[in-house]
């Protein structure tokens, strides 16, 4: 089924700063969202994997969505409502609709094994109950489940599918997803932040990435150049994204995003997970190395930069 909403361009998979008690730091979020909007991004994904949504209760997720919807306006916010409990996903989706958000996002439920038929049934159940366009979200490394092409095609035939976000290590899957998207009329939003020229060459509609939090200028430049057919003009930004990725990937996702945010001069908040001393040392190393890159590339630092 076709959807009236179809994302494109550069969307931030939004980082969510919290205090030591795990409560949303709205002031820090507001400062960071204003920076991203000023940079010129096209929209937001709220409570995605970069937002570390499993750490939040359903009520806390509602608070996050309400805050992000207000701060992001007039830009669109797609609400990730994935939950192992279908009733919670439906509750969050209906809340997103009450906020006037244009779409929701769904990953396969985590932890328990599921067949492709059961994944499809979950998606259809939630989509029907929520009555909003849906962006499916494929990230097998986190969910333990790949969304296969027949499942996507069957969902697109029966529900208002606006897009799929493709993340993880299987970059080649973009090609099949984009080909199917042309047939089924949905967009492909990539999570391959450091390979955007390849994504756009394949026909991807945009990026929904964690690194948009950190270097939106580079990612927007790549998108603008590719959209205008000037791929060669994106070479410097593309090379910088690869260099940036090598530094930040010294530490596992998503705490590495926090290190990048601190290096840029924004408040990442308390870590939601427990980090070992080794990882804490890596956070500090990444902060130093990324700060040097920001300065070298002439990217403005945020209010907390020393």
Cα separation of 152 and 295, whole Å?
43
Average pLDDT value for residue range 282-297 = 98
CA angle 108, 113, 119 (to 5 degrees): 35
| Spatial contact of 201 and 227, defined as CB atoms under 8 Å apart | no
Per-residue pLDDT at 257 exceeds 80: yes
pLDDT of res. 305: 85
Give the pLDDT mean for 156-165: 98
pLDDT band for 306, please (50, 70, 90 cuts): low
Residues 6+ apart with CB under 8 A from 228: none
**What domains can be seen in the chain, in order of their start residue?**
9-226 (3.20.20.70)
The pLDDT value recorded for residue 177 is: 98
| Mean of the per-residue pLDDT values of the chain | 97
Q: What is the pLDDT of residues 201-239, one digit of tens each?
A: 999 999 999 999 999 999 999 999 999 999 999 999 999
Where does the pLDDT of residue 93 fall: very low under 50, low under 70, confident under 90, or very high at 90 and above?
Answer: very high
Per-residue confidence (pLDDT) for residue 99, from 0 to 100: 98
Q: Each residue of 245-263: b (16+ CB within 10 Å) or e?
A: eebbeebeebbbbbbbbbb
Angle ∠(12,71,164) on CA atoms, nearest 5: 30
pLDDT over threshold 90, residue 17: yes
Amino acid 1: pLDDT: 76
Share of the chain above pLDDT 90, in %: 98
Q: Residue 4 — very low, low, confident or very high, per pLDDT cuts 50/70/90? A: confident
Q: What is the structure's pLDDT at 3?
A: 79
């Amino acid at each position: 089924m076709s959807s009236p909403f179809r994302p494109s361009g550069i969307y931030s998979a939004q980082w969510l700063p919290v205090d030591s008690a795990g409560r949303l730091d709205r002031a820090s979020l507001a400062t960071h969202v204003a920076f991203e909007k000023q940079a010129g991004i096209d929209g937001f994904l709220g409570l995605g994997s970069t937002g570390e949504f499993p750490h939040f209760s359903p009520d806390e997720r509602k608070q996050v969505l309400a805050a992000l919807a207000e701060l992001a306006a007039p830009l669109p916010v797609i609400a990730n409502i994935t939950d192992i409990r279908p009733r919670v996903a439906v509750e969050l989706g209906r809340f997103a609709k009450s906020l006037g958000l244009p779409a929701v996002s769904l990953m396969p439920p985590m932890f328990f094994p599921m067949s492709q038929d059961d994944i499809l049934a979950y998606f259809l159940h939630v989509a029907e109950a929520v009555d909003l366009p849906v962006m499916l979200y494929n990230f097998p490394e986190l969910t333990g489940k790949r969304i296969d092409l027949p499942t996507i095609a069957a969902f697109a035939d029966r529900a208002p599918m606006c897009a799929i976000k493709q993340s993880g290590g299987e970059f080649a899957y973009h090609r099949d997803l984009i080909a199917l998207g042309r047939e089924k009329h949905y967009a492909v939003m990539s999570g391959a932040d450091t390979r955007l020229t390849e994504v756009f060459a394949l026909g991807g509609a945009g990026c929904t990435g964690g690194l948009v939090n950190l270097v939106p200028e580079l990612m927007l430049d790549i998108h603008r150049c590719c959209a205008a057919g000037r791929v060669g003009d994106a070479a410097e930004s593309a090379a910088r994204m690869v260099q940036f990725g090598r530094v930040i990937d010294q530490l596992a996702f998503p705490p590495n995003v926090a290190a990048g945010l601190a290096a840029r001069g924004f408040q990442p908040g308390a870590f939601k997970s427990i980090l070992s001393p080794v990882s804490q040392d890596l956070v500090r190393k990444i902060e130093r190395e990324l700060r040097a890159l920001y300065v070298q590339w002439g990217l403005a630092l945020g209010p907390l930069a020393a």
